Amino acid sequence: MTYENIYIEEENAIATITIDRPKKLNALNKQTIAELHEAFKELDEDKETKVIILTGSGEKAFVAGADISEFSDFDVEQGGQLAAKGQELLFDFVENLSTPVIAAVNGFALGGGLELAMSCHFRVASDNAKMGLPEVTLGLIPGYGGTQRLPQLVGKGRAMEMITTAAMVSAEQAQSYGLVNYVVAQEELLALCRKLAGKIANNSSVAIGQAIKAVNAGYNNDLNGYAVEIAAFGNCFGTDDFIEGTSAFLEKRKANFPGS
């Protein structure tokens, strides 16, 4: 597929998706959301891809928010459909992807941009990053999962403060809140993400996919996370990766996971 607003680079089982709308500070419009969905779907189905890194082009922004011009005249029904479709196509889709996704947050991650970063499996930020959910300044609330994922990551009190004040937090604050795992200089951001991705890629992608499913189940009120973990643990015993991993351990050699 040909993409207009994103591009993909692949090397050593690691794929990097870059949102490329620098003049719009990489704001999310309908087309970009659709392109990201297709890119994530394509890479998740590619068994050669073990890890995905998501970032924004330029030095100013990861994603500065949603493209407000697209929905400024929407009514109640259209607004609800916008949130529902966006969550299904991108935000929930990324969260539940079996391939781990690292958000490389370079600069502003606001509104839908922070929501996109939070849907990734974990986040690394540049030291100039600024994060926030400013929707209440527009007479809106976060609609792409922000009211749910932010409290999960930083706690209810911090989330309530960030959402109701619409204030941005620095990269250092975000790290202290548990919103990002690491903060590095911008020129070191992708290098660290690739280093972490390399460590992940050495492990069983099948097991990692099961682990993602089990961890996410703990945050789903409709599921018993422990029961999902038990089933996922059992499923691992039926995989070639389990045979290879245990054989390698017993033979005191490095595992070469087939990923099946």
Which of these, 29, 99, 65, lies nearest to 259 by C-alpha position?
Answer: 99
Q: How far apart are CA 220 and CA 187, in angstroms?
A: 37
Contact 28, 179 (CB under 8 A): no
Sheet strands side by side (includes 169-170): 61-63, 108-110, 130-132, 169-170
Q: Which one of 42, 70, 77, 135 is the catalytic residue?
A: 135
Residue 4: active-site member: no
Contact 15, 104 (CB under 8 A): no
List Cα–Cα distances, 92 to 83, 87, 179, in angstroms.
Answer: 11, 5, 18
Q: How far apart are CA 260 and CA 231, in angstroms?
A: 17
Contact 136, 166 (CB under 8 A): yes
Which amino acid, one-letter code, is at 23? K
Tokens of 48: 């050669």
Q: Which one of 9, 35, 115, 244 is the catalytic residue?
A: 115
Residue 115: active-site member: yes
Active site residues: 115, 135
